[in-house]
Chains A and B, each alone.
Chain A
Amino acid sequence: MYLYDEIDQKLVDERVVQFRDQTRRFLAGKLSDDEFRALRLRNGLYIQRYAPMLRIAIPYGLLSTKQLRRLAYIARKYDRGYGHFSTRQNLQLNWPKLPQAPDILAELATVQMHAIQTSGNSFRNITTDHFAGVAQDEIVDSFVWCEIIRQWSTFHPEFSYLPRKFKFAVNGAKSDRAAVAVHDIGLHALRDEKGEVGFRVLVGGGLGRTPAIGFVIREFLSWRHLLTYIEAILRVYNRYGRRDNINKARIQILVKERGPEKFREEVDAEWAHLKDGPATLVPEEIVRIESRFTRPSYLRLPATDAGLEAALASERAFANWHKRNVHPHKKAGYSAVTLSLKKTGVPPGDVTVEQMEKIADLADRYSFGELRVSHEQNLIFADVQLSDLYSLWQEVRELGFATPNVGLLTNIICCPGGDFCSLANAKSIPVAEAIQQRFDDLDYLHDIGEIDLNISGCMNACGHHHVGHIGILGVDKSGEEWYQIEVGGNQGEVRPGRGASLGKIIGPSFARAEVPDVIEKLIECYLARRDSDAERFIDVVHRIGVEPFKESVYGNADQRAAHRRGQLASA
């Protein structure tokens, strides 16, 4: 956990005072709706379908149990007793009242939390690998770099009114578990031949209306230059990014319109003025930030545990859970555990306050009082002893968070959709539930193997449908909810050799009730064509292309043509 110093705390406290005054002036009629909107969004406050929605920042997804208990307290006192963990590793409350929002922010500030810049045309929460600091394939601890960028991006005076929202992701391991290629700026940590840390810098990626894979603007940027270089990128974007059309205002459009090479030249020209200036990072600052992170006091443990081995051999349900929800750890005798928030019948990412409190108790007992929120909307206990796994599993199962589906079809990423969100064209939660019900056979799920299925209720893509191996997008057709299906998306190089890609739409959209059938056909198509069960759905799509999947759903080209002729004839 990063612990605030006096200045960090003071800034968050001053933000509460500022927003209290802004809210007061709005309620007194001194601020127009439009003017207040820009201010409240910077504090995570949306006006939603039924009530305001408050998006609370969980910087890079890292939470202490003290903070989680405070979130539970807030959700109970100011909301309806539950919260929703989002794909940006944040927590959303769906029913707060506007006049109480300053009080909620004040409550958050007491546990070093806030809702700063969780919305609006500003820097959003920095996201990263949920296994940061514990991954076996770690290059750097990405939390440290996220915190450096968090500070740089908090209340940046020059970049507080960007053309559009701006999202950073940092990956610190060999595998990309942070989806760096689909962020406005993605940073992938590397070490050069001398062991010096740097970053591959990607720019212009994003989901949303016009999804794009970021381009590599710099293969290796020394860590010292991190802030001056991103400042140069942001200055070019702030000055020249489009402000005439909200749908063309993301940095990816500027990159496209300029052309990547020209854009790089402009950034380099700007950087020439900033490079080696006062914002150049120094080793002492990295050490200072590192030292403000609390670290688990690990025990020296053997790499295996006899009790664990015995339980795995004797209890199949535990072994299934272990296979999917327990992950390797860089320290011998420890592992990381995913608490799945994807139980059938529960909206993905939703947690009640009672559950939050119980999870906090478990994290205190099993994982050094900390936990992480993953962008897949699950919770992670990062530091669990092998010898504790069996008893943790029993307790987690009791709470309903032991669904052994991490990485499997029912671990669906899903936005709140039309049930809550005023932007949505269609509901997404019932679609997720219908798919989970269709695929409720665990053996079958395990046989299908690793697959990402993502659902968004509109083209804003909060459910990351473009990078699901199967993506589902809710669309509006003359007032009715329909669903478009994509295949072939991939969030990033989680496995070597398979980089980020965007899904392709397979054809005309479907009514909600048809969606589970369509998914089943796609899965059958995959199972019939895979070389072995080591070849994942996404690998098969890339090997044989989209056409066979299309055929499995709509019939072959002749059948599709005949179908169209039939439709025309009857029209």
Chain B
Amino acid sequence: MATLIKERRIVADSWHLLERGPKGELPEVPVRGEVIVPLALWLARREELLSRVGTGTLGVWLDASEGPEALAGDVQRFPLIAVNFPKFGDGRGYSIARLLRERYGFKGELRAIGDVLHDHLFFMEQCGFDAFALREDQDAQEALSVFGTFSEGYQTSVLRPVPLFRRRLGASKS
């Protein structure tokens, strides 16, 4: 079981991630518990799952090749959206996270899943992830130190929506 870091703390994970079967078949959705379903399952069974979302026990996960566009108006319904990193070097999830936060206004838990490693958490958090299901071999305790790697950043990001050059100007004016 992967360790979960949420809001910079190691926490117990009550969510159950549902994956496709070996032949790509969509999984069954258990009646009880908090579940994260693949995007395709959500799209196929949206009508019947709407009430489940309303109870706060259904989240959805996007693969790196998928995008928030597919969820569109539903984004804000979810208590949790997860984004998969198939390989640590695959940077698509960073853009997906920013779009979810900045363009679609997602306020719930945004969770990185898959090849989620120590050295990537800093940028992931900057892009809007607040939960990290670490790959099993990762030392979660050690990983907690990583969020302070850089004390500043030049660009706009979810955590720093105003770029450094505007904040510098503000500081020099006041």
Interface positions of A (Cβ within 8 A of B): 7, 10-11, 14-15, 17-18, 22, 25, 30, 35, 38-39, 121, 151-152, 154-163, 227, 235, 238-239, 243, 273, 277-279, 281-282, 284-285, 288
Let me know if A156 and B155 touch, CB within 8 A: yes
For A239, the chain B residues whose CB sits under 8 A away are 67, 92, 95-96
CB nearest to A163 among chain B residues: B91
For A227, the chain B residues whose CB sits under 8 A away are 163
Let me know if A155 and B103 touch, CB within 8 A: no
Whether B74 sits at the interface, judged by CB under 8 Å, is no
Q: Are A162 and B163 also in contact (CB < 8 A) when A10-B152, A157-B155 are?
A: no
Let me know if B156 and A278 touch, CB within 8 A: yes
For A156, the chain B residues whose CB sits under 8 A away are 154-155
Interface residue ranges of B103-148 to A (CB < 8 Å): 103, 117-120, 122-123, 126-127, 139
Let me know if B119 and A157 touch, CB within 8 A: no
User: Which of B92, B127, B139 makes the CB contact (< 8 A) with A157?
Assistant: B127
Interface segment out of the listed B10-18, B36-44, B53-61, B164-172: B164-172
Q: CA separation between A456 and B99, bound complex, in Å?
A: 41
A236 to chain B, nearest CB (A): 9
Q: CA separation between A227 and B149, bound complex, in Å?
A: 24
For A15, the chain B residues whose CB sits under 8 A away are 150
Q: CA separation between A157 and B103, bound complex, in Å?
A: 17
Interface centre among B91, B103, B123, B153 (most CB of A within 10 A): B91
Whether B174 sits at the interface, judged by CB under 8 Å, is no
CB nearest to A238 among chain B residues: B95
Let me know if B163 and A157 touch, CB within 8 A: no
Let me know if A162 and B91 touch, CB within 8 A: yes
Whether B89 sits at the interface, judged by CB under 8 Å, is yes
For B95, the chain A residues whose CB sits under 8 A away are 158, 235, 238-239
For A278, the chain B residues whose CB sits under 8 A away are 156, 161-163, 166
User: Which of A152, A160, A238, A284 makes the CB contact (< 8 A) with B154?
Assistant: A152
For A18, the chain B residues whose CB sits under 8 A away are 149-150
CB nearest to B86 among chain A residues: A243
B81 to chain A, nearest CB (A): 17
For B67, the chain A residues whose CB sits under 8 A away are 239
A195 to chain B, nearest CB (A): 23
User: Which of A158, A161, A282 makes the CB contact (< 8 A) with B157?
Assistant: A158
A344 to chain B, nearest CB (A): 43
Let me know if A157 and B152 touch, CB within 8 A: no
Q: CA separation between A207 and B42, bound complex, in Å?
A: 44
Q: Are A151 and B154 also in contact (CB < 8 A) when A14-B149, A39-B119, A282-B169 are?
A: yes
User: Which of B89, B103, B139 makes the CB contact (< 8 A) with A161?
Assistant: B89
Tell me what chain B mostly uses at the interface: helix, strand, loop, or mixed. loop
For B119, the chain A residues whose CB sits under 8 A away are 22, 35, 39
Let me know if A155 and B153 touch, CB within 8 A: yes
For B28, the chain A residues whose CB sits under 8 A away are none
Q: CA separation between A39 and B123, bound complex, in Å?
A: 13
B132 to chain A, nearest CB (A): 14
Q: CA separation between A15 and B150, bound complex, in Å?
A: 8
Q: CA separation between A124 and B98, bound complex, in Å?
A: 23
Q: What 1/0 flags go to B66-102 for Cβ under 8 Å of A? A: 0100000000000000000000111110111010000
For A238, the chain B residues whose CB sits under 8 A away are 91-92, 94-95
Q: CA separation between A273 and B154, bound complex, in Å?
A: 20
Q: Are A14 and B161 also in contact (CB < 8 A) when A273-B103, A285-B169 are?
A: no
For A235, the chain B residues whose CB sits under 8 A away are 95
Q: Are A288 and B152 also in contact (CB < 8 A) when A158-B98, A235-B95 are?
A: no
A222 to chain B, nearest CB (A): 17
For A154, the chain B residues whose CB sits under 8 A away are 154
For A243, the chain B residues whose CB sits under 8 A away are 90, 92
B118 to chain A, nearest CB (A): 8
CB nearest to A42 among chain B residues: B119
Q: Which 5 A-B pairs rank lowest in CB-CB distance, beginning with the nearest?
A: A161-B91, A157-B126, A157-B123, A285-B165, A151-B154
For A282, the chain B residues whose CB sits under 8 A away are 165-166, 169
Q: Are A279 and B163 also in contact (CB < 8 A) when A157-B157, A238-B91 are?
A: yes
B51 to chain A, nearest CB (A): 32
Q: CA separation between A6 and B31, bound complex, in Å?
A: 56
Let me know if B169 and A161 touch, CB within 8 A: no
For B91, the chain A residues whose CB sits under 8 A away are 121, 158-163, 238
A-B contact pairs, 25 of them (CB 8 A): A7-B152, A11-B150, A11-B152, A35-B88, A38-B88, A151-B165, A152-B154, A155-B123, A155-B153, A157-B122, A157-B123, A157-B157, A158-B95, A158-B126, A158-B155, A161-B94, A161-B120, A163-B91, A235-B95, A238-B95, A279-B163, A282-B165, A282-B166, A284-B169, A285-B169
Let me know if A155 and B150 touch, CB within 8 A: yes
CB nearest to B139 among chain A residues: A30
A79 to chain B, nearest CB (A): 27
For B120, the chain A residues whose CB sits under 8 A away are 161
Q: CA separation between A218 and B103, bound complex, in Å?
A: 25
Q: CA separation between A4 and B90, bound complex, in Å?
A: 32
CB nearest to A157 among chain B residues: B126
For B163, the chain A residues whose CB sits under 8 A away are 227, 278-279
For A288, the chain B residues whose CB sits under 8 A away are 165, 168-169
For A151, the chain B residues whose CB sits under 8 A away are 154, 164-165
A268 to chain B, nearest CB (A): 16
For A279, the chain B residues whose CB sits under 8 A away are 155-156, 163
For B139, the chain A residues whose CB sits under 8 A away are 30
CB nearest to A160 among chain B residues: B123
For B152, the chain A residues whose CB sits under 8 A away are 7, 10-11
User: Which of B118, B156, B165 makes the CB contact (< 8 A) with A277?
Assistant: B156
A184 to chain B, nearest CB (A): 15
Q: CA separation between A30 and B153, bound complex, in Å?
A: 28
